[in-house]
Structure formats: structure tokens, C-alpha cells
């Protein structure tokens, strides 16, 4: 059973890493007056906030971080301190802000996690399971946790990868995500926690710098193409991985959280938009930067990770259950990235 949202003002605490961005949909409980959420987001990344600001108003979006905020963050709206490893601090945030929805994004990414397994275990597992799940269950919260293509391993079917299959990842990042998926599902059936989860593909955004993930080449290529006209990729040119533009990621996150509980047939869904290789992405980028010089220097650690991940996601259950539909394909992704990164002159030259 799922937990209905109360008719009081609901809130969210979201804890995120720089490559993934949370947003909170409107909550419409069975009440005459619709609810207006107050949303703590951690760490604060202002470029990701426009959809929630437009939808709920800046005063209902609370930024949070463990670091001193930049001026553009601090003056953009309410700001609070939040540490995902501090259980008492998280409980105070939930109580003081009357939180009813919680988005938990804090994680070390795949390659970074392999370089610091103890920290990845603390952030990805202790922060998630010993803190967030217990707080969500204690305070009857609706909880969203993102998962990833990294939740699969070399024995998983890769083309396509279904929602339900053998996973057995070989990175601490992937292991922690499978742990979160299973614990969230267990808390749902054991305690009635309204747990919802999406397996994100590689997320591409112009708002943030690459953060140590295996798919981050697909962001770095745009920055390097504009700055130097050269890009050296750490994956083989034929390495196919599922990808998604950030706007589709946010759209899917909103939709899964807004979906009626009775429409959901599972707690964790794959979502997909496109799948491409570094070579295919480079060919599309060269339509806008014809002089781009593409080279390859394979990082064996990241290549091994990529080779264990899905090549394509089967997201038919998400499309059937709650109407998921992506908006961006590869061509639209590349056009949008260059537009946001200020490459108008190069686009004009290419045209």
C-alpha cells in the first residue's frame, strides 16, 4: 500500500550530486484546496531550479548544501545547511519544514566511487539507507531515489535491458543503487512507504560540469569542442550507452511522482530517450563544429564499467503505466547543448 499525501503544505528535501537534478511535482491530495510544496534541494544547483520556481514560486524552493553558497545561489531564494550523513540534522529539516515528500540524490558517481570506496559506501549506502529510509518511514514521507544504468552488470541482458532481470553490478556505485532499489521496495511492502525510483541513463546537461561519471564524456565533448576544437574520449568509439537530456530527466521525475499510486505496477522503472556511441555523438557535434578533432585514449577502468552497462533500456513499463514519453533525440540534444553553451557563432558558421 502507498502512503497518501496529507492536505497540509507538503515539502521535500532533495540531496543531489552535480550530475543529477531533482524537482518536485505538485501534490494534489484528496482535498478541496491543492497543496503548495516547500522544497529543500541539496546541494544547491541554481541552473536546475527554473521548473520548480515557475511551478511553485521561489519561496517554496529551499536550497541546501554543506558548502558556503555562491552569491547567485544564496540570493536566489531560501537556503539551509544539510548534511546527508547527519541523521539529527536531516530529522530537524523534515520536522521544521513539515516535509512530506523527499527526493534523495546524494551519491558518488561510478568512476569516483571506485577511487574512494569507503566514502562511496558512507554517502551512497549509509546516507541513503541508515538515514533517509528510516526518516522517510518514521515521518510517513513519499520518497524518491534515483537509480542508474550502473545498477546492472556484465551478466545482465544489455540490448535491451528490461526492468526486471539479473543485475549484479561490479562497482560500489551500482551495488549501492541495487541496495537502494531493494531496500526501498522492502520498506514499501513491509511498512507501506511510498517509495518511487527511476533508473536514469547517462544525463546530459549544460548547467553543470562533468562530475566523474562514466558517461560524462557526452558532456565534456561540448565544452572542449567550443573551447579548443579538440576532444579526447576515454571510451572506445563504438561504446553504446543509453543517454538522456536533462529536461527529459526532470520531466520523468515529475511524472513518476505525480502518477497515481494505483497506476504503478512496480517501485523501480527504467526510463530511456536515446542510445549512442562516442563516434555517433562526434559526428553530430561536427555538424556544428566541423573542425572538431576527435581522438581516443581509452581509460580501462571506465571502459570496463561501460562494457558492463546496458546498451539500450527497455522502458515500456514506464510508457504504459504512467505515460512516459521523451522529447529529445540526439539531434535535438546537440542543438540544445550548443545553444546553451553560447556557440551561436559556430552554429552560424556551420549553417
- pLDDT at position 53 is 61
Does 294 map to a domain? yes
Residues 29, 4 contacting (CB under 8 angstroms): yes
Residue 29: per-residue pLDDT: 27
pLDDT > 90: percent of the chain: 57
318, pLDDT greater than 80: yes
Check residue 147 and give its pLDDT: 95
The Cα–Cα gap between 213 and 306 comes to: 10
Domain co-membership, 125 together with 217? no
> Are 250 and 334 in the same domain?
no
pLDDT for position 299? 95
Q: Is residue 166 one of the residues assigned to a domain?
A: yes
Q: Is 314 left (phi over 0), alpha (psi -120 to 50) or beta?
A: beta
How far is it, in rounded angstroms, from Cα 172 to Cα 183?
Answer: 16
Contacts of 45 (CB under 8 A, 6+ apart): 16, 18, 21, 207, 208
Question: Is residue 60 over pLDDT 70?
Answer: no
Beta-carbon contacts of 4 under 8 Å, excluding residues fewer than 6 positions away, are 29, 30, 261
Co-location of 153 and 191 in the same domain: yes
**In the predicted model, is pLDDT for residue 338 greater than 90?**
yes
Q: 341 lies in a domain?
A: yes
Same domain membership, residue 232 and residue 185: no
Catalytic residues: 173
Give the residue numbers spanning the domain of 232: 206-243+274-311+328-350
pLDDT at 189 over 60: yes
Compute how many other C-beta atoms are within 10 angstroms of the C-beta atom of residue 262.
Answer: 7
Query: Whole-number mean pLDDT of the chain?
Result: 82
* Dihedral Cα 55, 145, 125, 166, nearest 10 deg: -160
The answer to whether residue 163 is domain-embedded is yes
Task: Answer whether residue 343 shows pLDDT above 70.
Answer: no
Q: How many domains does the chain have?
A: 2
pLDDT of 51 above 60: no
Provide the whole-model pTM: 0.82
Residue 58 forms part of a structural domain = yes
- 159 with 225, same domain: the answer is no
- Cα separation of 98 and 8, whole Å? 9
Supply angle C-alpha 329, 263, 42, rounded to 5. 60
pLDDT at 342: 74
Share of the chain above pLDDT 70, in %: 80
Which pLDDT band, with edges at 50, 70 and 90, does 323 fall under?
A: very high
- Residues 70-97: pLDDT tens digits? 787 777 777 888 888 889 988 998 898 8
Confidence class of residue 21 from pLDDT cuts 50, 70 and 90?
very low
Sign of the alpha-carbon dihedral angle for 344, 287, 310, 326: positive
CB 39 within 8 A of CB 14: yes
The predicted pLDDT at position 11 comes to: 36
Cell numbers at 69, concatenated? 553558497
321 in any annotated domain? no
Q: Are 12 and 37 in contact (CB under 8 A)?
A: yes
What CATH number did the domain enclosing 345 receive? 3.90.25
Higher-pLDDT residue of 108, 132 = 132
Least confident of 68-72, 262-266, 310-314, 317-321: 68-72
1-5, 30-34, 122-126: least confidently modelled range: 30-34
Do 248 and 103 share a structural domain?
yes
Residue 128 to residue 87: CA distance in whole angstroms:
10
CATH number for the domain harbouring residue 171: 3.40.50.720
| Residue 269 in grid coordinates | 522503472
Residues 83 and 230 in one domain: no
Average pLDDT of span 145-157: 95
Do 152 and 225 fall into the same domain? no
In a domain, 300, yes or no: yes
Q: How confident is the model at residue 103, as a pLDDT?
A: 81
- 199 close to 261: Cβ distance less than 8 angstroms: no
SS (H, E, C) the chain: CCCCCCCCCCEEEEEECCCCCCCCCCCCCCCCCCCCCEEEEECCCHHHCHHHHHHHCHHHEEEEECCCCCHHHHCCCCEEECCCCCHHHHHHHHHHCCCCEEEEECCCCHHHHHHCHHHHHHHHHHHHHHHHHHHHHHCCCEEEEEEEHHHCCCCCCCCCECCCCCCCCCCHHHHHHHHHHHHHHHHHHHHCCEEEEEEECEEECCCCCCCCCCCCHHHHHHHHHHHCCEEEECCCCCCCEEEEEHHHHHHHHHHHHHCCHHHCCCCEEECCCEEECHHHHHHHHCCCCCCCEEEECCCHHHHHHHHCCCCCECCHHHHHHHCCCCCCCHHHHHHHHHHHCCCHHHHHHHC
Of 208 and 51, the structure prediction assigns the larger pLDDT to 208
- Domain identity same for 101 and 39: yes
Confidence band, pLDDT 50/70/90 cuts, at residue 264: very high
Instruction: Indicate whether 282 belongs to any domain.
Output: yes
pLDDT confidence tier of residue 224, bands split at 50, 70 and 90 = very high
Whether residue 75 is found in the same domain as residue 180: yes
Residues 184 and 146 in one domain: yes
pLDDT at 84: 80
Do 271 and 324 form a contact (C-beta atoms < 8 A)? yes
Claim to verify: residue 135 and residue 158 sit in the same structural domain: yes
Amino acid at each position: 500500500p502507498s502512503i497518501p499525501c496529507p492536505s497540509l503544505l507538503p515539502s521535500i528535501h532533495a540531496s543531489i550530486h552535480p550530475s543529477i537534478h531533482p524537482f518536485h511535482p505538485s501534490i494534489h491530495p484528496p482535498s478541496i484546496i491543492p497543496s503548495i510544496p516547500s522544497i529543500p534541494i541539496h546541494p544547491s544547483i541554481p541552473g536546475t531550479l527554473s521548473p520548480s520556481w515557475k511551478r511553485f514560486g521561489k519561496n517554496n524552493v529551499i536550497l541546501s548544501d554543506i558548502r558556503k553558497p555562491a552569491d547567485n545561489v544564496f540570493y536566489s531564494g531560501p537556503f539551509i545547511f544539510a548534511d546527508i550523513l547527519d541523521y539529527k540534522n536531516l530529522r530537524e529539516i523534515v520536522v521544521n519544514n513539515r516535509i512530506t515528500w523527499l527526493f534523495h540524490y546524494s551519491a558518488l558517481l561510478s568512476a569516483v566511487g571506485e577511487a574512494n570506496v569507503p566514502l562511496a559506501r558512507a554517502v551512497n549506502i549509509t546516507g541513503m539507507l541508515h538515514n533517509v529510509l528510516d526518516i522517510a518511514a518514521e515521518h510517513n514521507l513519499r520518497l524518491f531515489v534515483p537509480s542508474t544504468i550502473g545498477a546492472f552488470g556484465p551478466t545482465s541482458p544489455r540490448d535491451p535491458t528490461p526492468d526486471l532481470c539479473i543485475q549484479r553490478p561490479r562497482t560500489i556505485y551500482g551495488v549501492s543503487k541495487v541496495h537502494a532499489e531493494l531496500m526501498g521496495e522492502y520498506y514499501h511492502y513491509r511498512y507501506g512507504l511510498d517509495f518511487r525510483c527511476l533508473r536514469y541513463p547517462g544525463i546530459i546537461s549544460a548547467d553543470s560540469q562533468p562530475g566523474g561519471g562514466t558517461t560524462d564524456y557526452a558532456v565534456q565533448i561540448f565544452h572542449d569542442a567550443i573551447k579548443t576544437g579538440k576532444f579526447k574520449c576515454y571510451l572506445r568509439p563504438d561504446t553504446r550507452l543509453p543517454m538522456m537530456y536533462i529536461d527529459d530527466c526532470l520531466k520523468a521525475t515529475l511524472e513518476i511522482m505525480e502518477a497515481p499510486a494505483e497506476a504503478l505496477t512496480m517501485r523501480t522503472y527504467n526510463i530511456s530517450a536515446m542510445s549512442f556511441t562516442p563516434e555517433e555523438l562526434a559526428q553530430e557535434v561536427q555538424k556544428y563544429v566541423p573542425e572538431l578533432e576527435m581522438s581516443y585514449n581509452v581509460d580501462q577502468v571506465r571502459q570496463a564499467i561501460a562494457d558492463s552497462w546496458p546498451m539500450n533500456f527497455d522502458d515500456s513499463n514506464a510508457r504504459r503505466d504512467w505515460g512516459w514519453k521523451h522529447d529529445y533525440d540526439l539531434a535535438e540534444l546537440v542543438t540544445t547543448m550548443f545553444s546553451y553553451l553560447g556557440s551561436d557563432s559556430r552554429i552560424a558558421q556551420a549553417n
